[in-house]
Amino acid sequence: MALRLPRIILLVLALLATLLSVTPTARAEVENPRQQWLRDSTAGLFLHWGMFTAPRHTDCAAWERDVTAGGWSADYWVDEALKLHASYIVLATFHSRLGYARPWPSKIPGSCSTQRDFLGELVAAGKAKGVHVLLYMTDDPQWHNEVPGVETLDSAAYSAYKGQQVDLTTRQGFGMYSYDLFHEVMDDYPDLSGFWIDNDNEYWEQHGLYEQIRQQRPSWLLSNNNEDTPIMDTVSNEQKTGMTPAYDYPQATFTPMPRLTEADYKLPTSGQWWYDGSDSKVDYGLSVGRYVANAGSSIKSLMAETAMVNGKFPPQQVAFNNFMADWLPPIASSLEKTQGGGYMYGGMQPGFWNDGSHGVITLAGNTQYVHVLTKPVSQDLIRLRDNGYRVTSVTDERTGKQFRFNQSGGYLSILGVTSWDTYDTVFKVTTAGQTGVYPNSMLEATASSSAAGHPASALVDGSYPSYWDADGKFPVSMTLDLKHPRPATYLAVNQTEWSPTHARESFGRPEDSARIKDYKVSVSIDGRHWKQVSAATMPSRRGVQFIDIGNQLARYIKIDVLNTWAGAQSPTYFGKLKIDEIRVGYTYPQALHNPVPLEAESERGTHVLKCAACSGSAAVVGGVTYRNVQASSAGSYKLELTALPTHDRTLSVRTNGGAPVQVTLDPGNADVPTTIALPVQLQAGANVVQIKSDSPVDRITVGPLPPASYVPKTTMTVQPSGIVWVGPGQQSVTVSANLRLDEDAVDNVTLAPTAPAGWTVTGAPVTASRLRLGQVISGTWTLTGSTAAQVPIDVTFDTVGLPHKISKTVPIQIRPADRIFMREAESSLNQIGSAGITSCGPCSGAQKVRNLGGSDDAHVVFPDVTAPTEGDYTLYLDYTVNGTKSYFVSVNNGSPTEVSVTDVGNTTVRTTQLPIHLAAGANTIRIYNTTDSAPDLDRISIG
């Protein structure tokens, strides 16, 4: 006879069993042996291929017949991947926009599943040739009926299989379905290498899916798209664009080493991620540049090619693969099993070098590879910061040719380069390690503020993954203690690479650089009496950055960070600073046997002054005359003059006996050279350039003026942004704008709105004679008028004498007579938290707010919603939605009202309404959904 336990005991036992079965909370494993094969990889091949590959199939069996009849072969894909030196393939067939097809004979009904085991064949073919295969899994059911009249998810079949009612078109139901698919794949494909997951599904997280994968398949990798999920091995960064140069993909990534990161991007220049029927062009310069630039940041290049129904690639992609098969092998050793240089693994400085050149560094032991992706405009040399590495030889990686080089002033100059590869000239630089840099054990660090768990000691602990956090307090000071008075000449600063380098929008979210902008450096012997030795702006760039401080004797070095680059429009990064490591250098490596061209001391009859930070370790006092400055043809050129900014910083420049031009150096440390650029007229052949100055001259360079298309990078913000809705009749609108200079220097700056017909502007233009790196010009004006208008806010300026103009438009519209208030959801007057802004052709203002809901701050808050009197009003919500979703609307922090809406496709703007009560004057309306995704929001209005 069975023992009958009281009900309460049974409940307790059941609860204990549940608790014991819960998988432990996810924990980030930044480094794990299972990742090694991917860490050793350079690239992967991303294949979006499924039932909706052109020509689109709506019948699963018909698609499978056409795939097989077309001669599909797993070996073809593997062989094409090997041409790209790709170590892995990600197969994206169970994709929301490709019909949710499963390329394996699944036992679980619910969407298209093939009888032929395409997945199994690909895994076997890859294993035979050393290529890993990962399976793409989507979290998103919203595109289940994107094709009119076609339903790709079969809820009835899956419900019958589960023995319960399940709606696959909901996130919860789809999460249950795909959860079962994960387990099926784990059971049946042990040679798979992992899953590539396109964001998260709440059902997976609630049921411990990732932890179960770790337990069942501990050698498999997990990758997540566009977010850093702790349990994942890899963070993928999807289709980043808008960088300068365009190939420098790492500028837009957001995860620092040693976290495994991918850049996943389309090789075809246009079109979808999948084959849409077109043979799209492949931009070789962009694609090769991304491949190499990513390797220079230890980022894996996941390149998307568009396989046709039969698995073959369109001709232009095949041609690119064949090109790479020939082009890569001679430089493969500089890309494969290397680390990005200039970061946590050491190495020289990557990024922007001399005369418009740009490139990256890769490391293999004491060998550093200098990849020149953009060659210098006119010079036959490459000049980059050496980061204290003593160079012993430089050769061309392709040809083995040896090059002369110079080391001085903290720079390596590779001389006599007359031949450049079209895409990547690779110099193999052999070094004898770093010299002239104090070991970490000799340094201690303190700071005026530190976030919990990230103390100032992390600045000098030698561990890059541990970082100091300023705790959001500015200005903030860091003080390095050398323990005894010692010589110091420069600082090498590695900031945490957790933010993009420039202001941008990514998936609708505003981003900016959380890096040092304006700073001061002071030194002291006793910690009481201080001498300022530097005050400047640090460029917002990836990799190690340098602060030269001249020849100092100091025990204490204090760095005051006044602000960072991120603006308030980017709350994720605004007012935040993280630094991995700061090193202190006390001398520069020297190799002076090969002088750099146009050094001042190379001219006869000059008085030479020793200068550790100068090119050639010397400068010339009293001016210098260059008698053989060569120009290929007569015309205008850009002359860059480098000199020491002593008390009299004015220099006179005369070319070929013409009228002298007066230029003034920026103020700075008199031991550290600074550079100014000016336009000059030169004749073909030899020219005479005469410089008169009390400031010691270091060197000059001469090259072409920037092309007319070149405009220095700036960040311009206008408040309010987007459409401004005003009532009928005479109206006044306050507009403010600011322009931040993100590179170079500009002159004769003017910022002002231009009044359209029927409008007037109150307020004068804002002007500046010169803007330098990081400086901002701002203004506020009142616009008055009574009609709809497009109001341009214009900025004009000169760069090396060339005029430029930047403009942003404020569109002013008259709201309907039956509305007392109207505002776009994407307006800068609102707070959108972790939601984002995206393009939307049918929407008002061509934008809307997406990613609403699912968390407390994924909302839109509309402040200053004005009402003429207290009373009851109607709130109109313009939205798009696919499926059934809900908003919650709270007025003035009152109880929320749920608003549920339904539609198909997410491409048509609809309107819903609800009654609300407003106070007289300003009100606040919050639209949100803390637990589930909400519809996309176009705008609101009050009637």
Domain count, the chain: 6
pLDDT at 24: 35
pLDDT at 898: 96
Span 452-491, pLDDT tens digits: 999 999 999 999 999 999 999 999 999 999 999 999 999 9
* pLDDT at 26 > cutoff 80: no
pLDDT at 19: 33
pLDDT at 8: 36
At which of 765, 795, 814 does a domain end?
Answer: 814
* Among candidate residues 673, 734, 668, the one with its CA nearest the CA of residue 698: 673
pLDDT at 567: 87
Lowest model confidence (mean pLDDT) among 6-20, 700-714, 769-783, 898-912: 6-20
**Same domain for 366 and 320:** no
**Same domain for 270 and 165:** yes
The domain that holds 808 is classified in CATH as: 2.60.40.2310
Query: What would the mean pLDDT of 706-730 be, rounded to a whole number?
Result: 89
Band of residue 20 on the pLDDT scale cut at 50, 70, 90? very low
Band of residue 605 on the pLDDT scale cut at 50, 70, 90? low
* Residue 795 near residue 807 (C-beta atoms within 8 A): yes
**Same domain for 276 and 212:** yes
833 domain-assigned: yes
**Same domain for 215 and 102:** yes
DSSP 763-783: SPPEEEEEE-TT-EEEEEEEE
β-partners of residue 942 are: 821, 875
The packing angle between helices 315-327 and 284-295, to 10°, is 50
26 domain-assigned: no
pLDDT at 507: 67
In percent, the amount of the chain with pLDDT more than 90 equals: 83
Terminal alpha carbon distance of the chain: 73
**Same domain for 782 and 663:** no
* pLDDT at 769 > cutoff 80: yes
Q: 485: helix, coil or strand? A: strand
6 domain-assigned: no
Band of residue 1 on the pLDDT scale cut at 50, 70, 90? very low
CB atoms within 10 A of CB 421: 18
**What is the Cα–Cα distance from 123 to 107, expressed in whole angstroms?**
19
Encoded amino acid at 628, one letter: N
Query: What would the mean pLDDT of 623-642 be, rounded to a whole number?
Result: 94
Query: What would the mean pLDDT of 192-217 be, rounded to a whole number?
Result: 95
**Same domain for 676 and 750:** no
pLDDT at 850: 87
pLDDT at 28: 61
**Same domain for 360 and 323:** no
* pLDDT at 682 > cutoff 90: yes
Encoded amino acid at 542, one letter: R
Q: Ranked by mean pLDDT, which of 391-400, 504-513, 569-578, 693-702 comes out on top? A: 391-400
**Same domain for 286 and 185:** yes
* Among candidate residues 163, 215, 216, 220, the one with its CA nearest the CA of residue 197: 220
3 domain-assigned: no
887 domain-assigned: yes
**What is the Cα–Cα distance from 13 to 24, expressed in whole angstroms?**
20
pLDDT at 737: 94
- Give the distance, in angstroms, between the CA of residue 81 and the centroid of all CA atoms in the same chain: 26
Higher per-residue confidence, 907 vs 40: 40
The domain that holds 897 is classified in CATH as: 2.60.120.260
The domain that holds 344 is classified in CATH as: 2.60.40.1180
pLDDT at 939: 95
Segments forming the whole domain that contains residue 509: 440-585
**What is the Cα–Cα distance from 934 to 916, expressed in whole angstroms?**
20
* pLDDT at 793 > cutoff 70: yes
* pLDDT at 11 > cutoff 50: no
* Residue 68 near residue 27 (C-beta atoms within 8 A): no
The domain that holds 276 is classified in CATH as: 3.20.20.80
CB atoms within 10 A of CB 719: 15
* pLDDT at 443 > cutoff 70: yes
pLDDT at 508: 65
**What is the Cα–Cα distance from 337 to 88, expressed in whole angstroms?**
15
CB-based burial, 268-280: b 16+ in 10 Å, e otherwise: beebbbbbeeebb
**Same domain for 728 and 668:** no
At which of 814, 843, 878 does a domain end?
Answer: 814
Span 409-427, pLDDT tens digits: 999 999 999 999 999 999 9
28 domain-assigned: no
pLDDT at 22: 34
**Same domain for 450 and 429:** no
* Among candidate residues 777, 769, 698, 770, the one with its CA nearest the CA of residue 739: 777
* Among candidate residues 630, 633, 605, 635, the one with its CA nearest the CA of residue 620: 605
Higher per-residue confidence, 603 vs 499: 499
424 domain-assigned: yes
Lowest model confidence (mean pLDDT) among 70-84, 498-512, 924-938: 498-512
Tokens of 663: 């230029």
Tokens of 826: 């994407």
pLDDT at 178: 98
pLDDT at 836: 82
**Same domain for 920 and 836:** yes
Residue with tokens 């002007």: 767
The DSSP code for 366 is T
pLDDT at 23: 34
Tokens of 168: 């696959």
* Mean pLDDT, rounded, of the chain: 93
**Same domain for 168 and 45:** yes
Query: What would the mean pLDDT of 335-343 be, rounded to a whole number?
Result: 97
* pLDDT at 595 > cutoff 90: yes
pLDDT at 744: 87
The alpha carbon torsion through 276, 278, 284, 286 (nearest 10 deg) reads -50
Band of residue 380 on the pLDDT scale cut at 50, 70, 90? very high
Span 262-320, pLDDT tens digits: 999 999 989 999 999 999 999 999 999 999 999 999 999 999 999 999 999 999 999 99
16 domain-assigned: no
At which of 796, 814, 832 does a domain end?
Answer: 814
pLDDT at 148: 87
